[in-house]
Amino acid sequence: MTAPMASQRPLQRVTLIGFGAIGQSIFQRAAQAPGVHISHVVVPATGLAKAQARLGAAATACTAVPEDATLVLECAGHSALLQHVLPALQRGVECAVLSIGALAGPGLAEQLSDAAEQGGTQVHLLAGAMAGVDALAAARLAGLSEVCYTGRKPPAGWRDTPAEQVCDLDTITQATVLLDATAREAAQRYPKNANVAATLSLAGLGLDATRVRLIADPAVSENIHHVVARGEFGEIELTLRGKPLADNPKTSALTVLSGLRFLHNRGAALTL
Ligand SMILES: NC(=O)C1=CN([C@@H]2O[C@H](COP(=O)(O)OP(=O)(O)OC[C@H]3O[C@@H](n4cnc5c(N)ncnc54)[C@H](OP(=O)(O)O)[C@@H]3O)[C@@H](O)[C@H]2O)C=CC1
Ligand SMILES: O=C([O-])CC(=O)C(=O)O
């Protein structure tokens, strides 16, 4: 009697764009993930040698998405969408992105969509640090009347951003509203802090009809995302308290897991 054959799905070769806090964490965790092999990591030219030293023989650091790439996961920042994701899509490479606030830039959402159409592929906007994006996108189909998002982080999560012109992050003793604006304005003014705001708005009422408040709060130690949405479906009120990554207090650890989930699902027979 012969033993039944285990189902063998092909190993997915993945190109990461970005090797900062998210990229390094995804790279480490993916090494333990069956079916996923990060073969290339795209970094700025100035970081090439350092990235290669960290990657060792496991993957190749490069400055552009390789010609033979088939699957890309972006975790670099807004500039990477125009620089790397757009040309990859045009060549037919499937891409998943985390820097979703970039879509607040003029015409970029349409450009990405056109490029994916041209390449006969798809660009996936990942849920990242936030929960409930799937529910909101489903609820939209019956009509939404209101979506409001509040992002609250400890002062350290707002360093090197326009927040430094609003208050003294070192000495504030009370929660301070940094911005009360549309999701489009939030994403453009806070490109490293308002990607969740952009994602929720794209899933819901759009970048110009979604109200966003960003808050520096010395009383919290987590990145707290709160959304209220109302519509024909009923109402969502959701709070997510995300632990920040040790290497970057702006970024919640769940963002890494969202990227890994995408890679896992991409190669799985049953996806969730
Ligand atoms: N959707 C979501 O929920 C979230 C999305 N994000 C997005 O993910 C991005 C990365 O986060 P995180 O890893 O914490 O940030 P880090 O600053 O730790 O790392 C970003 C890395 O990407 C590099 N980089 C920047 N631009 C490019 C480019 N055009 N091509 C290649 N590499 C580039 C940076 O290099 P250098 O330092 O030399 O510039 C840096 O090494 C954020 O900027 C944000 O856009 C983050 C959190 C949540
Ligand atoms: O990681 C987070 O908590 C959210 C974040 O930075 C963003 O929305 O850009």
235-256 confidence digits (pLDDT tens): 999 999 999 999 999 999 999 9
For residue 107, give Cα distances in angstroms to 66, 78, 111, 112, 113.
26, 14, 6, 9, 10
The C-alpha angle with vertex 193 and arms to 191 and 198, in degrees rounded to 5, equals: 70
Please tell me the residue having the least CA distance from ligand 1 atom 36: 44
88-104 confidence digits (pLDDT tens): 999 999 999 999 999 99
CA of 45 to the centre of ligand 2 (A): 26
d(CA 17, CA 86): 12
To 10 degrees, what angle do helices 21-30 and 253-267 make?
A: 40
> Is the whole model's pTM more than 0.90, yes or no?
yes
- The residues carrying an active-site annotation are 225
pLDDT of residue 208: 98
Is residue 99 in contact with ligand 2, taking CB distance under 6 Å? no
Regarding predicted confidence, which is higher, 253 or 35? 253
Residue type, 18: G
d(CA 60, CA 46): 15
Ligand nearest to the CA of 96: 1
What mean pLDDT, rounded, does the chain reach?
A: 96
ipTM: 0.99
pLDDT of residue 5: 45
